[in-house]
Amino acid sequence: MEKFTTLTGTACPINQSNLNTDQILPARFLKWTRAMGFGKALFHDLRFDSEGQEKPGFPLNKPEWCDATIMVSARNFGCGSSREAAVYALYDFGVRCVIAPSFGDIFAGNAVQNGLLTATITDQEAAEIMESLAQTPELPVTVDLDQQAIRCGNRTYKFAIDPIRRMRLLNGWDDLALTENYRERVSVFKAEDQIRRPWAAPRQEG
Amino acid sequence: MNEPQTIIDKLWDAHEILRRDDGESLLWVDRHYVHEGSFHAFGKLAERRAEVAEPGLTFAVADHYVPTRGPRGNIANPELARMVRQLADNCARHGIKLFGLDDPRQGIVHVVGPEQGLTLPGLLIVCGDSHTSTHGALGAYAFGIGASEVAHVLMTQTIWQKKPKRMRVSVDGVLPPGISAKDIVLAIIASIGADGATGCAVEFAGSAIRALSMEGRLTLCNMSIEAGARCGVVAPDAATFAYLKGRPYSPSGAAFDQAVEDWSKLATDEDAAFDSEVALDAARIAPIVTWGTSPQDALPIDASAPDPTRESNPERAQYLREALDYMGIAPGKKLTEIAIDRVFIGSCTNARIEDLRAAAAVLVGRASKVPGLVSPGSTLVKRQAEDEGLDRIFHLAGLEWGESGCSMCVGINGDLVRPGERCASTTNRNFRGRQGPGARTHLMSPAMVAAAAVSGHLADVREILGSRKM
């Protein structure tokens, strides 16, 4: 997994709360493979009309934000379905960081698995950043994971992230490599657990 | 004497293999359910040439992409056929038990798990589906995960997690007639918000929860994710044990008795501390419907849609305007005046036998004014409903009696609500486009969907059943 340290880029504000994973990637694209590139389906039904034409009002369709690498939104971003392809869609589009007051739990977990930073700030701060971007769309935004800071114009905001997720992103750690270190502990646990909870195994089919 | 523990602590401790200094724990997974959508994870295994660590603890169900209308021996749509076949191939390749399309036990994974006795109290269960929280109804610690985590569980039978905060939602008192678990959970979500339980594991407690059937508890825990919860759990009790006794995969004989003894110890100890507590009065819960585009946009059926002009917070007003606009509802409109185009009874939330009985009780002797589909939660539920004659009631009411699968809840099998159409639905998400691009979804209980069907608009089931015993 790619490490995340700092990022400077264009930030696109999408001022909607509860922007769920069905919006980020509608379900009909879930049968796609990663090689097909989910970026073109990102926010599909918000971005395109039923004829496949871009909706001019949607922020990502504006020329100043069409190459955004940072997204700023309102609370509960990524709630709903566990589809990891919602993260693939953001990542494949080029987004590496989402800033919002809160995130769906499963989405935030999926994000860290793919090197996408979820930076948590207050409702007030999110509104402020989105307002700044509405005023000055090209305002460069810098996200510094080590310092847990967002620089937007002349303002700096501290953001929150779970320290474990922060370390994973900074180091680009891979879950499987981590778990491999504990292979012995797992097999000891399994053996002891079978004695402790004999009923936990599924009964064999009769 | 040990410190008093919540059921959440007890479940967690029983599965914690180790905890690193940074606070992240490696947990043992007792059951891993997979479905057609798990193909990304199997792909990751193939890339690494890895094997499934515990195929005997992994169970697969074809549910998301299977057709639910008409015959399905041969799936006509090649893309859907490929998705279903791909699951069968991956299961065959890795020695995983599959409840496939041709299996009489096929159904929605969150219906099949409990039904088969695969889901048990005290287990840790994961699945690449957010509604895995359903299984907490039996006293399991169950949560949805993403594809990378599915791959990790396939390869190691373990998962990294940070212990969530513990929330208790207590619902005490007696539910009024006509009120179901769906109304309880929609009331909870409306009260705490769609992110009200984010970062929390939730125990549902109180006399009204204890009084729920297993079906009701499954509905309740199913939608805990719609409040943002990591998982929802109900302490196992006599009702749980009675439900599990004799199920194909649950322990039998002396092993069952031993299990019941252990399961009985899972309940939260007296004086155990939660990080947060929420309380609701069951007697005050009315039949609830959603009016907007988030499950938190839920109101009692006798209320009116919100009016943005009466909202002082400008951002909230903007949210209301956009939601009402998408839903095609005039501000302040009485909910009972909202006409519907179709109904859907199905999904992992509300397609168990009790749900079908509740809908049939309203529909019997009446005609639906709109078309609709009834998709039973599993093929076994379908057979039981047919044995009870429920299918005839749905037929006579003018509704279509379908097959089992995720169907019109998520629409990826092609069963869609058309653009602009309004659907009264027993499902779990009223997100924009959830049931199809441009579809407008109103969530409610099975009895309330049936009431809407016979009225042609959102309706209060209590009034319709007024002349009948509920």
Residue whose structure tokens are 């959508």: B37
- Domain of residue B388: give its range: 288-464
pLDDT higher than 90, residue B170: yes
- Which A residues 28-87 touch B at CB under 8 Å? 28, 30-31, 33-34, 45, 50, 74-76, 79-85, 87
| Domain count along chain B | 2
Average pLDDT, chain A: 96
Taking CA–CA distances from B316, the nearest residue in chain A reads A17
The answer to whether residues B171 and B225 belong to one domain is yes
pTM over 0.95: yes
Mean pLDDT of B237-251: 97
Does one domain contain both B452 and B371?
yes
Sort residue B69 into left (φ over 0), alpha (ψ -120 to 50) or beta: beta
Q: Within an 8 Å CB–CB cutoff, is residue A122 touching chain B?
A: no
- pLDDT score of B131 more than 90: yes
Indicate if the pLDDT at residue B469 is higher than 70: no
Residues B230 and B378 in one domain: no
Q: Is the ipTM of this complex over 0.90?
A: yes
* A18: chain B residues, CB-CB within 8 Å: 194-195, 293-294, 296
Backbone angles phi, psi at B220, to 5 degrees: -60, -55
Query: Both B132 and B265 in a single domain?
Result: yes
User: Per-residue pLDDT for B22 more than 70?
Assistant: yes
- Token duo for residue B201: 């594991």
The answer to whether A205 contacts B248, with C-beta atoms less than 8 Å apart, is yes
Tell me, yes or no, whether B211 lies in a domain.
yes
pLDDT given at position B470 = 47
Do the chains contact at A198 and B258, CB–CB below 8 Å?
yes
Mean pLDDT of B103-131: 98
In this prediction, residue B113 has a pLDDT band, given cuts at 50, 70 and 90, of very high
Q: Are residues B107 and B153 in the same domain?
A: yes
Residues of B within 8 A of A45 (CB-CB) are: 432-433, 437
Q: What is the CATH number of the domain that holds B390?
A: 3.30.499.10
| Minimal-distance CA residue of chain A relative to B18 | A185
Is pLDDT above 60 for A206? no
Same structural domain, B47 and B145: yes
Fold of A6-173: Aconitase; domain 4 (3.20.19)
Q: Are residues B398 and B263 in the same domain?
A: no
Report if residue B108 sits inside a domain: yes
Q: What is residue A53's DSSP assignment?
A: P
Residue of B nearest to A202 (CA): B249
Contacts of A40 (CB under 8 A, 6+ apart): none
Q: Please give, rounded to a whole number of angstroms, the shortest distance from the CA of B262 to a CA of chain A.
A: 8
Please give the helix or strand (H or E) that residue A143 lies within, else none: strand A141-144
B55: in domain: yes
**Of A75, A127, A199, which has the smallest distance from its Cβ to B259's Cβ?**
A199
**Cβ–Cβ below 8 Å for A113 and B146:** yes
Smallest CA-to-CA distance from B39 within B155, B152, B151 is with B151
Are both B210 and B313 inside the same structural domain? no
Sign of CA dihedral B380, B383, B385, B387: negative
The reply to whether B306 and B267 lie within a common domain is no
Give the model's pLDDT for residue A201.
Answer: 95
Record: contact A45-B433, CB cut-off 8 A: yes
Q: In the prediction, which pLDDT does A173 show?
A: 87
Residues B183 and B296 in one domain: no
Could you report the per-residue pLDDT of A91-111, keeping only the tens digit for each?
A: 999 999 999 999 999 999 999
Q: What is the pLDDT of residues B369-395, one digit of tens each?
A: 999 999 999 999 999 999 999 999 999
Residue A205: pLDDT band (50, 70, 90) is low
Residue contact B152–A179, C-beta within 8 A: yes
pLDDT digits (tens, 9 = 90+) for A11-25: 999 999 999 999 999
Residue B44 to residues A169, A183, B148, B212, B411: CA-CA distances in angstroms? 20, 20, 8, 41, 26
Give the pLDDT confidence score for residue A174 in this predicted structure.
Answer: 82
Sorted by sequence, the CB contacts under 8 Å of residue B327 that are 6+ apart come out as B291, B292, B293, B422, B440
Per-residue pLDDT band at B1 (split at 50, 70, 90): low
Residue contact B251–A203, C-beta within 8 A: yes
Instruction: Examine residue B283 and state whether it is found in any structural domain, yes or no.
Output: no
What is the overall mean pLDDT for chain B?
A: 97
Residue B469 lies in a domain: no
> Which of these, B287, B296, B291, B293, lies nearest to B307 by C-alpha position?
B291
Residue with tokens 């939260």: B268
What is the pLDDT confidence band of residue A178, given thresholds at 50, 70 and 90? confident
Task: Bin A140: left if φ > 0, else alpha if -120 < ψ < 50, else beta.
Answer: beta
Residue after which a domain boundary falls, among B253, B276, B299: B276
pLDDT digits (tens, 9 = 90+) for B70-81: 888 889 999 999
Q: Taking CA atoms, what residue in B is nearest to A178?
A: B160
Contact B433 A26 (CB under 8 A): yes
* Residue B344 bridge partners (DSSP): B373, B425
The dihedrals phi and psi of B440, each to the nearest 5 degrees, come to -115, 120
- Report residue B148 as tokens: 């990378």
Nearest to A163 among B22, B130, B156 (CB): B22
Question: How many angstroms separate the CA atoms of A132 and A153, rounded?
Answer: 8
Instruction: Tell me: pLDDT of B20 over 50.
Output: yes
Q: How confident is the model at residue A177 (pLDDT cuts 50, 70, 90)?
A: confident
Predicted confidence at residue B73, as pLDDT, reads 82
Mean pLDDT of all residues in B101-120: 97
CA B399, CA B452: separation in Å to the nearest integer? 13
- With a cut of 80, say whether residue B320 has pLDDT above it: yes
